[in-house]
Structure 1
């Protein structure tokens, strides 16, 4: 039987080696060689691409041996620097592999090089090397060099070392025409697979949706000032791209940083990491911590504008921010009890302004955990080549590409529009770098971009309330004027309030916790034989919650006959348990809900299905107005309520509730606590 997938893999291997000769490498060779040589992966892959881009087993073995010999004989380890310098002196000439950076010494009018591992400085280098390989002046490149040694006593201060021959073993220059022309020979699917293989992953083992997630991890490398968040289970390779793929990214582990290190050092007057790297990735977001009090505020300013103020100066930088971390519980549970940004540290976790700067939330829980079969043994671009391609694409933009065919719906504010356009631009750079794509191609990208930004907005709604109510993201086809809406997969299920009738004595209420947040609570009551006692559990030491529940029981004992003459109090005990469904702390707005629940349990009649009670009362039964009424209605809808029992004192506040929200829930008004019982039980 013919393995069609294997044939397609080999065809793609042949195609990349034909159109990108010397730019591709078999990724399993990188992994095996990396274990034996502690050299940067982009250096290793450049050599493998030069000598091992073949399917001929004999030629491949010969190429591997050649690469091994080059690294063994010529790579300079920092701890062997003196030994290598001695060899150059004693032999007169010696070949080394090291990272070289060059500066112009204007006082002497010569170019001087500095060796990273060898530790040499001030070594003269011929101007034609600098002209041919400009990256020598831009932070340096790894090279294989022939070094001479000649000590002249008459020339003081001159280095006895000399470079007689230099050949880069990184990409010295980037020919973008090669990329643009080569892209035309690949289908969209082939190109996506090629990019994913270049990161070391095997695309045939991934679903189509996961492939797009893998591409999204690369957007910060091609898009300036892009803010990406990816939270998910451990072991899904969240930080791999930012640690291994590109020499232009830095991964901050542990999380602790300073404003001076990250943004600007006032004493040295130098820009920090955001000015030195294309991507600054924060590993384990739970540990992010600034020693400076204004650190998070400066980070927010930078994430919004790409600039920050230090002293009297305002500085600009283009580095993208990536936030990766772990979610240690199920997404359904997290959505029920909190929000998807909860793993961030406490000083950020409820800061809606900080999270509003996120352009995309990548759902890490949709990406499979790393397994051996997910690592590719096929050909992909060498790391140095693809990282230079990514860096060059940062000079281009496709943010206005969607304007020709589509416009965004009215639920997107300016920040939403910027986020979506930047994601669209980044994905076009990755998939269609030559700008050749169809309307259907663009629509696919636009839908994906809208989902990731809406995921951010859904969490902002949980954190910040009505300010972020507009989450019904859509786009309009300019030709047909048809409007399409996008939804977020994980928002579909996991409602706190299930459909269908509950048990008698059970009721849901929404109220303000001591923290000021609005929470959802379930009250359960049971009536047993006894002597009129009222026992409470789940309340802990919350004095105000206890007082509100006691108010309900006193009102119940005084007014039960107004509900039904069959209710017995002195021969029954009443057991109550309250559950804080979102873990934000108890509310003291419980009296009306508990009064209804006591009556429901006593009559053995459940309240109407999917009902939530709003409102509170004092010991005399006087109703109180609901604070933050629109936000409270929003919480009810998000929890799964279909009906909301509302005190008549809050009727005037209905004008603050958006009409789109009102159509999702049926308000039922009550004039006093006894009326509330009849309305809740569905008794006319």
Structure 2
């Protein structure tokens, strides 16, 4: 059998598996399963949010599977207009806070603890809004300890007080990964099915790739699970090299354009702030 025939056969094998794969995914993972075909229809990524955040929005606002209806599209568009700040919305949101309004926004939230002789407190940082010292209660921080680490995406409720902006409520979008559940679910799938499922989870259509090409796509994930692993991928600009790393997880940092330094990567000796 020639190499081309073998590759075509691999693609056909993937297509045969795809017929029952969707039903098995829904049966095994239940509400955790997300129909990624709905994301491009929603146009949410044009709002500048990662795919994993946009998928959470879809499951929150219009849960389900299959094509998005015009009514659902309008509902998502309206929700995004009210809750997802754009690049030029910082001042308008701050103005609403100044007028005494309660503002809800979808935003990454991180908490910094300040321990100085003349200042000891914890402050909330909302980078997309240009707010880096908002008040936040101990209760919220204890309820969401990851706020003290890499931060979390979610819907943040803000009000203005005499001491400045304050976070009054926070609805996180991230869920804890249950590795035991994932291991148990793995036993329900063949090797070919699990490979196709992982490719789907990355945002690709496994039917468009041969088995060999699917493995090459999965190689992009190796640095995320293997310490001290360096992967170099060479291709022209705009061919999707960074797509996975921008959209796969909030724990992944993507630095583009070569703008990196030891201070950004490891630690800033001037401020003492840890790098990425």
Question: Which of 104, 109, 115 lines up with 1:95 in the alignment?
Answer: 104
The answer to whether the aligner puts 1:167 opposite 2:178 as a matched pair is no
1:229 counterpart SS class: coil
**Which residue of the partner structure matches residue 49 of structure 1?**
59
Question: Which of 140, 146, 149 lines up with 1:135 in the alignment?
Answer: 146
Contact 1:143 1:168 in 2 (8 A): yes
Question: Which of 205, 208, 213 lines up with 2:211 in the alignment?
Answer: 208
TM-score by length of 2: 0.77
> How far does the alpha carbon of each residue in 1:204-233 deviate from its partner, in whole angstroms, 9 at most, with x for none?
222222221111111011111112234468
**Which residue of the partner structure matches residue 658 of structure 1?**
none
- Sort the Cα spacing of 1:80 and 1:264 in 2 relative to 1 into closer, same or farther, 3 A: closer
- State how 1:174-323 maps to structure 2 within 5 Å: 174-231=177-234, 237-247=240-250, 248-253=252-257, 255=258, 258-262=261-265, 266-268=269-271, 272=275, 276=276
1:39 counterpart SS class: coil
1:139 counterpart SS class: coil
**Which residue of the partner structure matches residue 415 of structure 1?**
none
2:113 counterpart SS class: strand
Contact 2:37 2:66 in 1 (8 A): no
The answer to which structure, 1 or 2, has the higher relative contact order (CA under 8 A, 6+ apart) is: 2
Contact 1:25 1:48 in 2 (8 A): no
- Sort the Cα spacing of 1:185 and 1:219 in 2 relative to 1 into closer, same or farther, 3 A: same
TM-score by length of 1: 0.34
Q: Rg larger in 1 or in 2?
A: 1
Contact 2:35 2:66 in 1 (8 A): no
> How far does the alpha carbon of each residue in 1:525-549 deviate from its partner, in whole angstroms, 9 at most, with x for none?
xxxxxxxxxxxxxxxxxxxxxxxxx
Paired with 1:117 and 1:139, the residues of 2 have a C-alpha distance of 15
How much is the aligned-residue C-alpha RMSD, in angstroms?
A: 3.4
Question: Which of 13, 17, 42 lines up with 2:26 in the alignment?
Answer: 17
Gap regions ≥5 residues in structure 2: 1-12
Gap regions ≥5 residues in structure 1: 152-157, 277-684
**Which residue of the partner structure matches residue 124 of structure 1?**
135
Paired with 2:28 and 2:61, the residues of 1 have a C-alpha distance of 17
Paired with 1:55 and 1:19, the residues of 2 have a C-alpha distance of 16
> How far does the alpha carbon of each residue in 1:255-288 deviate from its partner, in whole angstroms, 9 at most, with x for none?
475555555555555565xxx1xxxxxxxxxxxx
1:43 counterpart SS class: helix
- Sort the Cα spacing of 1:135 and 1:68 in 2 relative to 1 into closer, same or farther, 3 A: farther
Paired with 1:180 and 1:165, the residues of 2 have a C-alpha distance of 34
Aligned residues: 261
**Which residue of the partner structure matches residue 9 of structure 2?**
none
> How far does the alpha carbon of each residue in 1:395-426 deviate from its partner, in whole angstroms, 9 at most, with x for none?
xxxxxxxxxxxxxxxxxxxxxxxxxxxxxxxx
Question: Which of 99, 115, 121 lines up with 2:126 in the alignment?
Answer: 115
- Sort the Cα spacing of 1:6 and 1:64 in 2 relative to 1 into closer, same or farther, 3 A: farther
Paired with 2:129 and 2:235, the residues of 1 have a C-alpha distance of 42
